[in-house]
Amino acid sequence: MTATQAPDAAPPTAMTNRQILQAMSGLMAGMFVAILAGTVVANALPTIIADLGASQSSYTWVVTAELLAMTATVPLWGKLSDLFDKKLLLQLSLGMFVVGSLLAGFSHGVELLIFSRVVQGIGAGGLTALAQVVMAAIIPPRRLGKYAGIFGAVFAIGTVAGPLVGGVLVDTSWLGWRWCFFIGVPFALLAIALLQRTLRLPAVGRREAKIDFLGAFLIVAGVCALLIWVTLAGNEFDWASWQTAALTGAGVLLLVAAVFVEARTAEPVIPLNIFRNRTVTLTTVASLLVGVAMFGGTVFLSQYFQVSLGKSPTVAGLMSLPMILGLLVSSTVAGQVISKTGVWKRYLVAGAVIMTVGLGLLSTIDADTSFTLLSVYMAVLGIGVGMLMQNLVLAAQNDVPASELGAATSVLSFFRSMGGTIGTSVLGAILANRVASEMTKGLDAAGIPSGGDGGGESSVPDMSTLPEPVRQIVEHAYGVATADLFLIATPCALLALLTVVFIKEKPLKTTSGMERLAEEAGAATETDRTVVGS
């Protein structure tokens, strides 16, 4: 039992910058893999679905399956990280990602592809939660800012590289769509090797720990029911329908039951008392709103580039660069300044203000907006998101006991993903309806029958096959509809700003999560001895 006693015998010490950067290499490789998995299929899906002979509903499920599995399992991974070896859990999640990627790449039917995306999503959920938990464990909050900036930079690179790489792979005859899944495997294996070599964490050794399987099941089932509803409503069935009533009713009942179970178990998946912490509650609400505003609005930009501006998939991927560069620069610079000064709230507030302005500017675009102006608007949005997103996690991690770092981090990641899913689904339905309305109006005004082209609800039109008058109407419809999405997302960003204003700034701790955990364990032992002695 030496391993379980090691932390007591040799308390953890602060890591040097070189040791931290070495450990971060494996973490960043793992995070890049997780982000790549979610974005690389964006431009490849039409080809994949056509090659497998699948339906439009299968197209939806290939996307949804990974997102559902990732979002629903983030809290469970976060809780496991508070109980068990974080390094082993990271490697396990990477291993699941490798298995899912190989299954997806060798799929010859859509059923196996959807199952493989679930496996990929579970692995990506682990990486999403655990990477930030491990960062908090090895890096003191006062020094975490600059490394969180690196984290944001990797996020930005993975986000812009995914669709671009996917488009190139599909367009390269000797590679094809299967390499969209194979390409992440070497990165995942490299990350496993780097983590084994560079990450040094003390053994946890909590033999009394028990996993709340009932609570985990209820949370996952409830969240999945609600996510399936917001994903399919407006496409597969109406928002006001019996399916909506069934899925929302089941989701709410399951989550109410989960709250009941979590309040009474010794080791809850999501400790409810964590929300008594004002900082955690406010950063959670802000993360949800950022997810709705940022992901819900920007996910449709690629479609706007291709349909409204007439760009190719590869060019559409490159056109996102201004936003990604804005995010990369602001997250890195803000992180460095926070680490030097220890002051962080002003960057949260400034980020929320700039994000709101960026979304407001993007709500003015149309089919004739110049790329120069569009680049400025996207860069403003990226700068705001870069200053805000990672520093919300920093604020929460700084204000919770080290024993709850995993739970707090995973809660924020979970609600941000949940917000992104809700925003994407709801705004996607609004986009489809607005496009249909604008196309019908434009076709009627031009004296063209609208029966065959006015939908936009089931599929994106092939612009190359449309006659010039119809093409102009479609371009205008998508330009107007996309601007409306940003207009709707702007109030969500404004609410995030109001939430951030009420977060109380507290000095950043100068000890890492490992050191704080050892201190907390020592204090608890000393208290127990005092009680026994008395």
Q: What would the two tokens of residue 258 be? A: 């989960």
Q: What is the mean pLDDT of each run of 10 residues along the chain (534 residues)?
A: 40 66 80 77 74 69 78 81 82 91 89 90 85 80 75 72 77 82 87 83 58 81 82 76 91 91 80 86 91 73 80 75 85 85 90 94 89 92 88 86 79 83 77 82 75 46 70 84 89 93 87 72 61 56
Which candidate, 316, 326, 215, places its Cα nearest to that of 263? 215
Q: How far apart are CA 309 and CA 514, in angstroms?
A: 51
530 CB-near residues (< 8 Å, 6+ apart): none
Q: How far apart are CA 528 and CA 532, in angstroms?
A: 6
Residue 15: what pLDDT?
67
Q: What would the two tokens of residue 235 be? A: 């496409």
CB 236 within 8 A of CB 55: no
Residues in the chain: 534
Q: What would the two tokens of residue 300 be? A: 């449709």
Q: What is 391-402 written as a DSSP string? A: HHHHHHHHTS-G
Which CATH code is given to the segment(s) 15-202? 1.20.1250.20
Three-state secondary-structure class, residue 237: strand
Residue 161: what pLDDT?
74
Q: How far apart are CA 335 and CA 156, in angstroms?
A: 15
Residue 292: what pLDDT?
82
CB 163 within 8 A of CB 43: yes
Q: Which residues pair with 237 in a beta bridge?
A: 233
Q: How far apart are CA 218 and CA 269, in angstroms?
A: 10
Pick the CATH number of 277-528 from 1.20.1270.360, 3.30.1380.10, 1.20.1250.20, 3.30.70.260: 1.20.1250.20
End-to-end Cα distance, the chain: 30
Give the Cα-Cα-Cα angle 85, 93, 157 (nearest 5 degrees).
115
Q: What is 416-454 written as a DSSP string? A: HHHHHHHHHHHHHHHHHHHHHHHHHHHHHHTT---TTTS
Q: What are φ and ψ of residue 522, in 5° steps?
A: -65, -40
Q: How far apart are CA 307 and CA 438, in angstroms?
A: 14
- Other beta carbons within 10 Å of 448: 17
Give the Cα-Cα-Cα angle 375, 380, 385 (nearest 5 degrees).
125
Three-state secondary-structure class, residue 109: coil
* Burial (CB count within 10 angstroms: exposed 0-12, middle 13-18, buried 19+), residue 138: buried
Which candidate, 392, 36, 363, 333, places its Cα nearest to that of 191? 36
Residue 77: what pLDDT?
85
Q: How far apart are CA 33 and CA 123, in angstroms?
A: 10
Q: What would the two tokens of residue 99 be? A: 């298995």
Q: How far apart are CA 129 and CA 450, in angstroms?
A: 47
CB 39 within 8 A of CB 162: yes
Q: What would the two tokens of residue 349 be? A: 């507030």
CB 30 within 8 A of CB 131: yes
CB 59 within 8 A of CB 232: no
Which candidate, 209, 210, 201, places its Cα nearest to that of 85? 201
- Other beta carbons within 10 Å of 96: 21
CB 355 within 8 A of CB 381: yes
